[in-house]
Structure 1
Amino acid sequence: MRSLLKGVSGVRWGKLRDARESLASDIPPLLSRIAYGGEDTARLAIDELGERVCALGFVVAEATAPTVPFLLELAGAPNVPCKAELLELLEGIFRTDNWHSSAAAAGGPRRTGFKEQPGWEAASRAAVRAGRPIIEGLASSVRPEEAEAAHKLLRAMDEVPAFPEI
Structure 2
Amino acid sequence: MSRVRWDALRGAQQVRAAEIPVLLSRIAYGDEDTARLAVEDLADCVCWSEFLVGEATAPTVPFLLELAGAPHVPCKAELLELLEHICRAEQWHRAASSVRDDKRCTAYREQPCWEAASRAAVRAGRPVVAGLTSSVRPEEAEPARRLLRAMDEVPSFPEA
Q: Structure 1 residues 108 and 92 mapped into 2: Cα distance closer, same or farther (>3 Å)?
A: farther
Moved over 6 A (4+): none
In structure 2, the gaps of 5 or more residues are none
Cα deviation, residue 112, structure 1 = 3.7
Please give the alpha-carbon distance, in whole angstroms, between the structure 2 residues aligned to 1:83 and 1:117.
Answer: 28
- Residue 74 of structure 1: which of 58, 67, 71 is its match? 67
Task: Provide the aligned C-alpha RMSD in A.
Answer: 1.4
2:55 matches 1:50: no
2:16 corresponds to which letter in structure 1?
A: L
Q: Secondary structure at the match of 1:68?
A: helix
Offset from partner CA, 1:129-156 (integer Å, 9 cap, x none): 0000000000100110100000000011
Cα deviation, residue 10, structure 1 = 1.0
Cα deviation, residue 20, structure 1 = 2.1
Please give the alpha-carbon distance, in whole angstroms, between the structure 1 residues aligned to 2:62 and 2:21.
Answer: 12
Q: Is the 8 A contact 1:16 1:24 kept in 2?
A: yes
Aligned length: 159
Please give the alpha-carbon distance, in whole angstroms, between the structure 2 residues aligned to 1:36 and 1:58.
Answer: 27
1:161 maps to 155
1:86 maps to 79
* TM-score for the superposition, normalised by structure 1: 0.92
In structure 1, the gaps of 5 or more residues are 1-7
Cα deviation, residue 48, structure 1 = 0.3
1:66 corresponds to which letter in structure 2?
A: P
